[in-house]
Amino acid sequence: MPDKDNAAEQTPENQPETTAPPTHMQPNNPLHGVKLADMLEFLVEKYGWQELGNRINLRCFNYDPSIKSSLAFLRQTQWARDKVEGLYLRSILTAVACFCATS
Protein backbone atom coordinates (compact mmCIF):
# COMPACT_ATOMS: atom_id res chain seq x y z
CA MET A 1 0.00 0.00 0.00
CA PRO A 2 1.50 3.41 -1.00
CA ASP A 3 2.57 5.78 1.70
CA LYS A 4 0.12 8.72 1.95
CA ASP A 5 2.87 11.14 2.96
CA ASN A 6 4.91 10.48 -0.22
CA ALA A 7 1.89 10.94 -2.49
CA ALA A 8 1.16 14.34 -0.98
CA GLU A 9 4.71 15.54 -1.60
CA GLN A 10 4.49 15.60 -5.39
CA THR A 11 6.08 18.65 -6.89
CA PRO A 12 4.95 20.47 -10.04
CA GLU A 13 7.94 19.01 -11.88
CA ASN A 14 6.61 15.47 -11.26
CA GLN A 15 3.07 16.15 -12.48
CA PRO A 16 2.16 16.00 -16.16
CA GLU A 17 1.35 19.31 -17.84
CA THR A 18 -2.40 19.46 -18.36
CA THR A 19 -2.91 23.18 -18.79
CA ALA A 20 -3.70 24.83 -22.11
CA PRO A 21 -1.02 26.92 -23.77
CA PRO A 22 -0.91 30.52 -22.56
CA THR A 23 -3.46 32.76 -24.23
CA HIS A 24 -0.86 35.43 -24.95
CA MET A 25 0.66 33.20 -27.63
CA GLN A 26 -1.79 33.71 -30.52
CA PRO A 27 0.23 35.32 -33.31
CA ASN A 28 -2.27 34.34 -36.03
CA ASN A 29 -5.37 35.63 -34.25
CA PRO A 30 -6.03 39.25 -35.28
CA LEU A 31 -8.75 39.57 -32.64
CA HIS A 32 -6.51 38.54 -29.76
CA GLY A 33 -6.56 41.21 -27.08
CA VAL A 34 -9.44 43.16 -28.66
CA LYS A 35 -12.43 43.42 -26.36
CA LEU A 36 -15.92 42.99 -27.73
CA ALA A 37 -16.85 46.40 -26.30
CA ASP A 38 -13.97 48.02 -28.20
CA MET A 39 -15.04 46.33 -31.44
CA LEU A 40 -18.62 47.46 -31.02
CA GLU A 41 -17.64 51.04 -30.15
CA PHE A 42 -15.38 51.17 -33.22
CA LEU A 43 -18.17 49.91 -35.49
CA VAL A 44 -20.74 52.32 -34.05
CA GLU A 45 -18.32 55.22 -34.49
CA LYS A 46 -17.47 54.17 -38.05
CA TYR A 47 -20.95 53.27 -39.32
CA GLY A 48 -23.49 54.55 -36.79
CA TRP A 49 -26.33 52.42 -35.44
CA GLN A 50 -28.50 52.67 -38.56
CA GLU A 51 -25.81 51.51 -40.99
CA LEU A 52 -24.59 48.89 -38.52
CA GLY A 53 -28.17 47.55 -38.35
CA ASN A 54 -28.31 47.50 -42.16
CA ARG A 55 -25.04 45.59 -42.42
CA ILE A 56 -25.87 43.14 -39.60
CA ASN A 57 -29.61 42.77 -39.14
CA LEU A 58 -29.86 42.37 -35.38
CA ARG A 59 -32.69 43.67 -33.25
CA CYS A 60 -30.23 45.09 -30.71
CA PHE A 61 -28.82 47.31 -33.50
CA ASN A 62 -32.14 48.33 -35.05
CA TYR A 63 -34.52 48.93 -32.13
CA ASP A 64 -33.48 51.25 -29.30
CA PRO A 65 -29.79 50.38 -29.71
CA SER A 66 -27.26 50.81 -26.95
CA ILE A 67 -23.78 49.52 -26.29
CA LYS A 68 -24.91 47.84 -23.06
CA SER A 69 -27.85 45.90 -24.54
CA SER A 70 -25.88 44.95 -27.65
CA LEU A 71 -22.98 43.62 -25.57
CA ALA A 72 -25.36 41.56 -23.45
CA PHE A 73 -26.88 39.97 -26.57
CA LEU A 74 -23.56 39.42 -28.35
CA ARG A 75 -21.98 37.76 -25.30
CA GLN A 76 -24.82 35.21 -25.22
CA THR A 77 -25.21 34.64 -28.97
CA GLN A 78 -22.12 33.26 -30.71
CA TRP A 79 -23.44 33.47 -34.30
CA ALA A 80 -24.19 37.18 -33.85
CA ARG A 81 -20.80 37.78 -32.25
CA ASP A 82 -19.15 36.03 -35.21
CA LYS A 83 -20.87 38.46 -37.60
CA VAL A 84 -19.74 41.47 -35.58
CA GLU A 85 -16.17 40.15 -35.41
CA GLY A 86 -16.20 39.56 -39.18
CA LEU A 87 -17.40 43.08 -39.92
CA TYR A 88 -14.82 44.48 -37.52
CA LEU A 89 -12.01 42.57 -39.26
CA ARG A 90 -13.18 43.69 -42.72
CA SER A 91 -13.42 47.28 -41.48
CA ILE A 92 -9.93 47.20 -39.98
CA LEU A 93 -8.44 45.65 -43.14
CA THR A 94 -10.16 48.29 -45.27
CA ALA A 95 -8.84 51.06 -43.04
CA VAL A 96 -5.31 49.65 -43.20
CA ALA A 97 -5.49 49.25 -46.98
CA CYS A 98 -6.66 52.84 -47.41
CA PHE A 99 -3.90 54.10 -45.12
CA CYS A 100 -1.25 52.14 -47.03
CA ALA A 101 -2.53 53.39 -50.36
CA THR A 102 -2.26 57.04 -49.28
CA SER A 103 1.19 56.69 -47.74
Angstrom CA distances, 25 to 38, 45, 82, stand at: 21, 30, 21
Choose between 67 and 20: higher pLDDT: 67
Give the angle 79-83-86 at the CA atoms, nearest 5°.
Answer: 135
Does residue 11 carry a pLDDT above 80?
A: no
> What is the domain extent for residue 94?
47-103
Looking at the domain assignment, is residue 61 inside a domain? Answer: yes
Chain segment 47-95, per-residue pLDDT in tens: 999 999 999 999 999 999 999 999 999 999 999 999 999 999 999 887 7
State the total domains in the chain. Answer: 1
Whole-model pTM?
Answer: 0.69
What CATH number has the domain bearing residue 64?
Answer: 1.10.720.30
pLDDT band at residue 102, thresholds of 50, 70 and 90? confident
Looking at the domain assignment, is residue 74 inside a domain? Answer: yes
Looking at the domain assignment, is residue 20 inside a domain? Answer: no
